[in-house]
Structure 1
Amino acid sequence: WADKVRELMKYRNENGHCLVPRKQSTLGNWVMTQRAEFRKFSARKHSRMTPQRIKILNHIGFVWDASDKIGNRRNDEGWMQMLKQLMEYKEKHGNCLVPNKY
């Protein structure tokens, strides 16, 4: 467990966050497992999660519910750029019916 925490800290230092994609080899799977164990712990079910592990993960910036964070954090700037382009298109053409080849 401690080895994976160190690996997650390295990932955070390189990427600026702890939102490891599920497809990011074993680390992504480990992160998903920690979230699942936390949900079980919170529901007072048998879990490998402990208050000490929660404290450690919180300290390094672990995101317990990434459902609304992954897309936002990674694509916010790109999304805003596309919105700006759409607004420019509407200003020029009077609608938002952008052709696929535009």
Structure 2
Amino acid sequence: KLESIGFEFKRQRTRTYSSWNRHFQELVDFKKINGHANVSTHSGPLGTWIARQRTHYRLLQEGKDSRLTVDNREKLESIGFEFKCQSIDSPWDQHFQELVHYKKINGHTNVHTGSGPLGRWVDDERKNYR
């Protein structure tokens, strides 16, 4: 009956496909900047999308219906996405992970205060320690 009224089945799929790829690209960009793909579930649309991918993965593992395709799962795995990971939902944990990555790249934790949010966080932590 849907075909008889000109219902477009593929249009929805294309939108879903492009939406998934758009979020995936945002995750790739996030990883390039932060050195990890553990986006906080409280960090807007990307965080919500991440939570949804983990939910679909869990459903898949439990043998239940899941929207996570093999192709999409492999794409996520190819960038080091962890379907099961420690929660880093607090801003403090997020900054700590960024500092760990910074040290891995630079060999030290002396982040300049003028170098954005991480620098300000490091400066605040030093002040709180005193």
Residue 59 of structure 2 corresponds to residue 40 of structure 1: yes
Shift of 1:25: 0.6
Paired residues for 1:1-102 under 5 Å: 1-67=20-86, 70=88, 71=93, 74=97
CA offsets 1:29-76 (integer angstroms, 9 cap, x no match): 1001000000001111011011111110000111111226x3596288
Identity %: 29
Contact 2:35–2:98 at 8 Å: present in 1 too? Answer: no
Structure 1 segments of 4+ aligned residues over 3 angstroms from their partners: 70-73
- SS of 2:33 mapped into structure 1: helix
Give the distance between the partners of 1:76 and 1:65, measured in 2 at CA: 22
Give the distance between the partners of 1:13 and 1:64, measured in 2 at CA: 18
The count of corresponding residues between Structure 1 and Structure 2 is: 77
TM-score by length of 1: 0.66
TM-score by length of 2: 0.53
Letter of the aligned partner of 2:42 in structure 1?
A: K
Q: Structure 2 unaligned runs (5+)?
A: 1-19, 101-129
Contact 2:56–2:68 at 8 Å: present in 1 too? Answer: yes
Q: Structure 1 unaligned runs (5+)?
A: 78-101
CA RMSD of aligned residues (A): 2.2
Letter of the aligned partner of 1:53 in structure 2?
A: N
Residue 4 (structure 2) aligns with: none
